[in-house]
């Protein structure tokens, strides 16, 4: 029965919420007004769940955050928030945090990201949470340049911002994890010590390490496929070289920094195998890595589930970051 439930959860019908669409069609045929109200209520419920999404560990104190413009692009200010721990040090160890959303959605200060920032701040870490341009009108190269420029801004202004530029961990969720992995694999592969200066480790939650994995038959997410095509301006067959170029797994080398991967086995947005294969590649090069698996977790399990397994993954992540920084 459990296996049947898992198969159903990962089916095209459930993963893309086709059942909700069919209900809407049926109600709209019967009564358009009823169908409209159903659609409206569904949007409200989805928005409410999104706004309430957070890590399942309550932080019972407030933390100071400051917002800075790190760059202007396309007549738009790109911003980052810095969350400081309560302990007032001259130089705070830093988690450079990047949100998910398929490179086409999400923002730095939405509730799930804020909850992560507060949680990490409660562990004595400063957290920089960044925005970046979306893949609708921009390329992956544009997005990566935003990531790099935000990191450069933090480094160049570390004294003024009370941040330790020699004690940094890169972290990202989903698409943000992909950017963090790509930055670290690419620059370690090319032995670019300036770009990797001060970076002790990278943490990636349910992130695609091979962008071709988004299109494997067992992946049912229409959103993931649409977002990837939109950002890379095409499908993997005609754009094979581009997909390979922007896949972190193809840049892993003996110079790669220590890595923590976290993934739910029931992920229907980014296949679990993407992290499995990346872990195998790290092992091949004898890179130190930690792989945290949530056996019943799907995509974004860290802010959707409140079970003991999720809490354990979060606590182990925070401990891993602190150990990487030798705190």
For 204-231, how does the pLDDT look when each residue is reduced to its tens digit (9 = 90+)?
999 999 999 999 987 878 889 999 999 9
Please state the domain extents for the chain.
2-48, 61-324
Q: How far is Cα 313 from Cα 179, in angstroms, rounded to an integer?
A: 21
Residues with Cβ within 8 Å of residue 322, at least 6 apart in sequence: 123, 124, 125
Residue 289's pLDDT is what?
A: 98
If you average pLDDT over every residue of the chain, what do you get? 88
Residue 9's pLDDT is what?
A: 56
For 105-162, how does the pLDDT look when each residue is reduced to its tens digit (9 = 90+)?
999 999 999 999 999 999 999 999 999 999 989 999 999 999 999 999 999 999 999 9
Token pair in block for residue 325: 């920084």
For 56-101, how does the pLDDT look when each residue is reduced to its tens digit (9 = 90+)?
887 877 788 999 999 999 889 999 999 999 777 679 999 999 999 9
Predicted TM-score (pTM) of the model is 0.88
Q: Rounded to 5 degrees, what are φ and ψ at 150?
A: -65, -45
In the predicted structure, residue 24 carries a pLDDT above the cut 70? no
Q: How far is Cα 275 from Cα 313, in angstroms, rounded to an integer?
A: 15
Residue 27's pLDDT is what?
A: 44
Residue 15's pLDDT is what?
A: 47
In the predicted structure, residue 298 carries a pLDDT above the cut 50? yes
Q: Which is the CATH superfamily of the domain at 61-324?
A: Alpha/Beta hydrolase fold, catalytic domain (3.40.50.1820)
Stretch 306-312: mean pLDDT: 96
In this prediction, residue 2 has a pLDDT band, given cuts at 50, 70 and 90, of: low
Q: How far apart are the first and last CA of the chain?
A: 46
Q: How far is Cα 171 from Cα 173, in angstroms, rounded to an integer?
A: 7
């Amino acid at each position: 029965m459990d296996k049947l439930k898992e198969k159903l959860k990962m089916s095209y019908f459930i993963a893309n919420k086709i059942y909700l669409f069919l209900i809407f069609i049926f109600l709209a045929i019967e009564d358009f007004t009823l169908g409209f109200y159903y659609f409206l209520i569904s949007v409200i419920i989805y928005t409410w769940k999104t706004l309430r999404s957070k890590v399942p560990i309550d932080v019972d104190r407030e933390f100071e955050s400051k917002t800075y413009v790190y760059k202007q692009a396309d007549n738009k200010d790109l911003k980052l928030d810095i969350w400081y721990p309560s302990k007032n040090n001259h130089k705070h160890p830093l988690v450079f945090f990047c949100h998910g959303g398929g490179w086409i959605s999400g923002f730095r200060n939405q509730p799930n990201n804020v909850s992560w920032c507060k949680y990490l701040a409660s562990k004595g870490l400063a957290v920089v949470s960044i925005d970046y341009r979306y893949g609708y009108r921009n390329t992956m190269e544009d997005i990566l340049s935003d990531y790099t420029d935000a990191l450069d801004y933090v480094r160049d202004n570390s004294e003024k911002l009370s941040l330790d530029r020699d004690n940094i961990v890169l972290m990202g969720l989903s698409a943000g994890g992909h950017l963090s992995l790509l930055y670290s694999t690419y620059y370690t592969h090319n032995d670019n010590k300036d770009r990797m200066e001060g970076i002790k480790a990278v943490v990636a939650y349910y992130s695609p390490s091979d962008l071709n994995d988004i299109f494997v038959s067992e992946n049912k997410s229409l959103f993931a496929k649409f977002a990837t095509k939109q950002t890379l301006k095409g499908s993997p067959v005609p754009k094979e070289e581009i997909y390979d170029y922007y896949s972190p797994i193809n840049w892993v080398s003996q110079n790669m920094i220590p890595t923590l991967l976290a993934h739910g086995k029931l992920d229907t947005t980014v296949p679990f195998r993407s992290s499995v294969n990346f872990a195998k590649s790290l092992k091949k090069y004898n890179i130190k890595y930690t792989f945290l698996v949530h056996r019943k977790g799907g995509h974004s399990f860290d802010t959707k589930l409140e079970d003991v397994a999720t809490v354990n993954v979060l606590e182990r992540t925070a401990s891993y970051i602190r150990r990487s920084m030798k705190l």
